[in-house]
């Protein structure tokens, strides 16, 4: 298996792009990533997206982006893995390059969610749950996560306020990210006073509905230095799944897919959790941040919240997290978020983290999660 | 790049499965393919599907199938490439095995279309066109193909009746296929008298709206004989795209994506069109059959219809086609059709073609096409 490196990254700002189409966002990110690598055209294009059929009446999405990016003819496929689509698309592109089928591949994560009424978006997001046994009963992802957060608080004795550090921290980091959706400071008081969505989840426990696209260019590591003097190696790439429904799990507070994909990735890279300098985790809700930290073995079960309270996740902490704002404050265009994580990790590893640069950052882990953590894609990147 | 072989195939009957769910169809095909290979569990699952979000309110589809097939935990991704999803999913699985990331992968194509009113299905299918510049104006795929058929008839001097051989032939072959949706004979008179949908396309020029799932099990060729004494080698696998919109092409009667993917596949396998013993092409409409034959260089431009009239596509002809009924008569569950083509080709190569066995069949070509031939995936399989 050929080792694969990332030689270029690109992203659009995350936000409410009402004046721009799905294809424009995708093309902008693809072109930016190619320009960063000094290239004009890839041999293959992989598009990560969850809801373009439901929200944008557009499937055949990879063909569309290839066409409007200016390279019809190339191989182009869309990858869907719910909210983990942005991580999954990099996995698929990595497999293509690793196999030898192509040398230059672009992976772009893309989602446009804000053109429609929120009930349609909520229904669209619910397609990541079990349609027949969960969504059909009207349950939403906020409600499902609220059940988890309630159970977590009960089992481990936390209060809502204990989750504040995840939020304050993410918004603090987004201030310096010109691509972030929200660049204002959020205080513990703001968090505590924010409107309840599904008790105990408030609006500030939640990541926003967003539009955006992010892309990376991949090539075999042995060719990477021909394109950039700062290639970033993909040391590991691993996908794992769990039961799609929450009700059938032995312990709903244990994210088995997150655990398995992180564990496999660490094995591939021959690294331990303590070797990781930076983690971009799936902070779609505060409870998901806590459980993701635990699933990736950065914290013991029940200690994910404490881990954040003890300032481990700040830029100069033990494990800097959401260094450009995360899903919470950079924004969460679902099929793109996993790719944004990788773009941001690459920037940090290249020393392009700007005001939020993490010092001595040599190994980064990104984990993109879909559904009720029913699918997870972990990448470990290194200089 | 490791060569990959198919060691097991499975399929559900194609039809209107109102009493069965999306997941049941997928799981049945996956289990059948694994049983055929003497296996219980793959290391990775790839699901090809176009419209589960729009029609079945279900994304995260690969996780769902992995879960209900009995192997949560494994890597699972969904691949979308419009009506070529069923070919694309085998391409994605082939890349995974070729790369060395896994040894045993299952690719399953799956679509459930008949539970909804036909206008919803038509709208769903239109998501394969350009949403903003084609579908928004109300054009359907039947209408788009009718424009092509009209142009073809005008340019090359054909009548509607000239297209009959594709239809008569496909239905004749389906009689012996227990998995086919339509197993009745269709005559030239039936074809000529069939109701017009979008002039000159009648109901009998068109493939049906269908439910179904088909699956294949892949492993490295060097390991294949441990599982079966009749492995089938994937000699080539190639995807190509064209402009998504029909209006922007230099010549709409030239299917560039079909040409490019067939050409690349022939180059990979070091074969010429005349070396192919059997072709499963994308006969969604009679005009697509004709243009696909021409794009893959089996017939000269304008000669695709004549090629069929001269009986070349019958079971004992120069290039047997739609040997188990094709999309036309076996049925066209869009995200599954490309996988059905491969399953049927594998059966022929293994000598399991039943009453429709093609003699001396050693090399087969399958081509799965999406949108207005804006994406095509070609496989060449050999004993």
Q: Do B375 and A62 touch (CB under 8 A)?
A: yes
Selected for mutation to probe chain B from A55, A57, A63, A248 (highest B CB count within 10 Å) is A63
Q: CB-CB: which of B58, B130, B238 is closest to A131?
A: B58
Distance CA B127, CA B121 (A): 10
Q: Is the pLDDT of residue A53 over 90?
A: yes
Q: Give the helix ranges, DSSP H, for A100-252.
A: 118-125, 141-156, 164-174, 188-193, 221-224
- What the block records as the tokens of B320 is 């047997």
Mean pLDDT of chain B: 97
- The residue-averaged pLDDT of A272-297 equals 98
Listed as own residue / partner, the contacts of B350-353 with beta carbons closer than 8 Å and 24 or more positions apart are B350/B230, B350/B232, B350/B383, B351/B230, B353/B323, B353/B324
Selected for mutation to probe chain A from B20, B25, B77, B96 (highest A CB count within 10 Å) is B77
- What the block records as the tokens of A324 is 């450009």
Q: Is the pLDDT of residue A72 over 90?
A: no
Residue carrying the six token digits 């703001």 = A190
Q: Which residue from B144, B335, B288 is spatially nearest to A53, judged by alpha carbons?
A: B335
- The residue-averaged pLDDT of B320-331 equals 98
Distance CA B333, CA B14 (A): 7
Coil, strand or helix at B347: helix
Angle between helices A22-36 and A61-68 (to 10 degrees): 60
Q: Is the pLDDT of residue A212 over 90?
A: yes
Q: Does ipTM come in above 0.90?
A: yes
DSSP state of B136: G
- The residue-averaged pLDDT of A51-73 equals 97
β-pair type (B4-11, B211-220): antiparallel
Q: For chain A, how many residues are written? A: 383
Q: Do A240 and B126 touch (CB under 8 A)?
A: no
Q: CB-CB: which of A124, A238, A375 is closest to B76?
A: A375
Please list every residue in chain A whose beta carbon sits closer than 8 Å to the beta carbon of residue B239. 44, 75-77
Task: State how far the alpha carbon of B14 is from the alpha carbons of A138, B87, B123, B276, in Å.
Answer: 31, 17, 22, 27
- The residue-averaged pLDDT of B113-124 equals 96
Coil, strand or helix at A11: strand
Selected for mutation to probe chain A from B44, B48, B74, B75 (highest A CB count within 10 Å) is B75
**Which of the residues of B are catalytic?**
83, 332
Distance CA A89, CA B79 (A): 10
For position A145, what pLDDT does the model report?
Answer: 98
Confidence of residue A356 (pLDDT cuts 50, 70, 90): very high
Please list every residue in chain A whose beta carbon sits closer than 8 Å to the beta carbon of residue B63. 81-82, 241-242, 244, 370-371, 374-375
- What the block records as the tokens of B62 is 């690969």
Q: If 0-12 CB within 10 Å is exposed, 13-18 middle and 19+ buried, where does residue B301 land? A: middle
Q: How far is CA B91 from the centre of its chain?
A: 13
Q: Do A127 and B74 touch (CB under 8 A)?
A: no
- The residue-averaged pLDDT of B136-140 equals 93
Q: Do B73 and A257 touch (CB under 8 A)?
A: yes
- The residue-averaged pLDDT of B179-189 equals 98
Q: Is the pLDDT of residue B72 over 90?
A: no
% of chain B with per-residue pLDDT over 90: 99
Q: CB-CB: which of A101, A238, A375 is closest to B95?
A: A101
Torsion angle (degrees, nearest 10) of CA B40, B46, B50, B55 = 50
pTM, two decimals, is 0.98
How many other C-beta atoms are found inside a 10 Å radius of the C-beta of residue A189?
9
Q: CB-CB: which of A63, A79, A124 is closest to B79?
A: A79
Pairs of CB atoms within 8 A across A/B = 213
| CA-based nearest residue in chain A for residue B64 | A244
How far off is chain B from A270, nearest CA to CA, in Å?
A: 16
Q: CB-CB: which of B60, B135, B241 is closest to A63?
A: B241
Q: Is the pLDDT of residue B63 over 90?
A: yes
Task: State how far the alpha carbon of A75 is from the alpha carbons of A20, B205, B264, in Å.
Answer: 26, 29, 11
For position B167, what pLDDT does the model report?
Answer: 98
Distance CA A280, CA A349 (A): 12
Please list every residue in chain B whose beta carbon sits closer than 8 Å to the beta carbon of residue A91. 77
β-pair type (A232-241, A44-48): unpaired
Q: Is the pLDDT of residue B7 over 90?
A: yes
Q: Is the pLDDT of residue B376 over 90?
A: yes
For position B88, what pLDDT does the model report?
Answer: 98
Coil, strand or helix at A198: strand
Please list every residue in chain B whose beta carbon sits closer than 8 Å to the beta carbon of residue A76. 81, 239, 241, 375
CB B345 within 8 A of CB B310: no
- Per-residue pLDDT of A289-312, as tens digits, reads 999 999 999 999 999 999 999 999
Confidence of residue B283 (pLDDT cuts 50, 70, 90): very high
Distance CA B179, CA B184 (A): 13
Q: How far is CA A286 from the centre of its chain?
A: 14
């Amino acid at each position: 298996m050929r080792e694969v490196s990332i030689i270029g990254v690109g992203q659009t700002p995350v936000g409410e792009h009402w004046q721009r189409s799905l294809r424009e966002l995708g093309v902008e990110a693809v072109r930016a990533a190619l320009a960063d690598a000094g290239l004009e055209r890839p041999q293959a294009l992989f598009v990560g997206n969850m809801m373009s059929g439901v929200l944008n009446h557009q499937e055949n999405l990879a063909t569309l982006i290839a066409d409007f990016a200016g390279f019809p003819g190339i191989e182009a496929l869309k990858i869907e893995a719910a909210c983990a689509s942005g991580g999954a698309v990099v996995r698929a592109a990595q497999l293509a390059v690793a196999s030898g089928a192509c040398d230059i591949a672009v992976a772009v994560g893309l989602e446009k969610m804000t053109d429609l009424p929120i009930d349609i978006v909520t229904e669209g997001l619910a397609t990541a749950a079990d349609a027949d046994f969960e969504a059909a009963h009207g349950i939403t992802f906020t409600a499902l996560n609220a059940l988890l957060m309630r159970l977590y608080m009960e089992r481990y004795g936390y209060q809502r306020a204990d989750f504040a550090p995840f939020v304050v921290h993410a918004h603090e980091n987004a201030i310096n990210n010109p691509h972030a959706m929200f660049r204002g400071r959020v205080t513990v008081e703001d968090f505590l006073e924010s409107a309840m969505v599904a008790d105990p989840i408030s609006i500030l426990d939640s990541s926003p509905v967003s539009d955006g696209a992010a892309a990376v260019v991949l090539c075999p590591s042995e060719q990477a230095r021909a394109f950039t003097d700062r290639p970033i190696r993909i040391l590991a790439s691993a996908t794992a799944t769990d039961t799609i429904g929450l009700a059938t799990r032995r312990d709903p507070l244990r994210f088995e897919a997150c655990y398995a994909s992180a564990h496999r990735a660490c094995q591939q890279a021959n690294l331990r959790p303590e070797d990781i300098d930076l983690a971009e985790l799936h902070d779609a809700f505060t409870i998901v941040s806590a459980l993701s930290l635990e699933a990736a073995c950065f914290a013991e079960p029940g200690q994910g919240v404490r881990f954040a309270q003890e300032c481990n996740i700040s830029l100069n902490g033990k494990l800097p997290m959401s260094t450009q704002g995360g899903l919470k404050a950079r924004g969460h265009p679902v099929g793109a978020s996993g790719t944004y994580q990788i773009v941001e990790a690459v920037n940090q590893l290249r020393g392009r983290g700007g005001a939020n640069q993490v010092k001595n950052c040599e190994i980064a882990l990104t984990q993109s999660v879909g559904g009720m953590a029913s699918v997870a894609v972990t990448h470990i990147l290194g200089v």
